[in-house]
Amino acid sequence: MNIMKTNRTSLVEQVATQMENLIETGHWSIGDKIPPEMELMVQFDVSRNTLREAIRALVHAGLLETKQGSGTSVRSASALGFAIQRHVEKSSLIDTLEVRLALEREAAQMAAERRDDRDIEKLKGCFLACQKAAATANLDQFVDADILFHKAIVEASHNQVLIDLYEHMTDALYSSVRDLIILHAPFNYEEELHVELYEAILERDINRAREYVNSYSNEFKKALTSMTEE
């Protein structure tokens, strides 16, 4: 007699999923302590053992961390983000940045093919913010605007898996990416790149979009080599 696998989710999994949703939607932010056990037991209508098993599952997934004497707090906004962070910490900077640049190359091609009017408006706003920061030589604002510009391109791909991967990888590499942006080219080069890439996506020119990403990818690699040799 064949026994069919059940599709019923266990109570522990249900509670863990609900807690994960609270984290991913921002109800519980990174660094926040989660509510006391009794409050959560009432909220989820479960026993202490069930709640503790759900919390252990999220600790194992990297979403929560428990410290003796200070309780349980949110460690990461998603299991994917935690997994990427661990890989980034174990991998070389050049390996990780090569993956990020490969995602940008694919995203630029997708964006040129799939972008809509809302994407174009967002991209335009981002590169105008870059130009404004460059005009005033405000390096911090320029770096933030540059990162947002590339994130907007990835979002214009309309591929949610790609968007999530890129978001988490960029967050994990923020300091290194900032140093590379500062090192790799002067403001006027970056401004020109933003305009060219924006126009390629606006005109739905997939080949040009790919070429521009390849161009700055090579510049990034040269800058990274220079940075690691110092």
Q: Which amino acid is at 97?
A: L
- Alpha-carbon Rg for the chain, nearest whole angstrom, is 22
Comparing 221 with 120, the larger pLDDT belongs to 120
Q: Please report the pLDDT score of residue 119 as a whole number.
A: 97
User: Does the predicted TM-score (pTM) go above 0.85?
Assistant: no
User: Over the stretch 108-145, which tens digit does the pLDDT of each residue have?
Assistant: 999 999 999 999 999 999 988 988 888 888 888 888 88
Asked if 207 and 113 count as a contact pair (C-beta separation under 8 A), the reply is no
Cα–Cα distance measured from residue 214 to residue 209, given in angstroms and rounded to the nearest whole number: 9
One of 1.10.10.10, 3.40.50.620, 1.10.3130.10, 1.10.3660.10 is the CATH number of 11-77, namely 1.10.10.10
Token pair belonging to 225: 């080599």
Q: Once rounded to an integer, what is the mean pLDDT over residues 196-221?
A: 89
User: Over the stretch 41-95, which tens digit does the pLDDT of each residue have?
Assistant: 999 999 999 999 999 999 988 889 998 888 899 988 777 776 777 777 677 777 8
Q: Which amino acid is at 29?
A: S
One of 1.20.120.530, 3.20.20.140, 3.30.9.10, 3.40.50.800 is the CATH number of 89-229, namely 1.20.120.530
Q: Please report the pLDDT score of residue 2 as a whole number.
A: 45
User: Over the stretch 147-206, which tens digit does the pLDDT of each residue have?
Assistant: 899 999 999 999 998 998 888 788 766 766 666 666 655 555 566 778 889 999 999 999
Q: Structural domain boundaries of the chain?
A: 11-77, 89-229
Pure H helices in the chain: 11-24, 37-44, 48-61, 79-90, 93-114, 117-135, 139-155, 160-172, 174-184, 187-202, 206-229
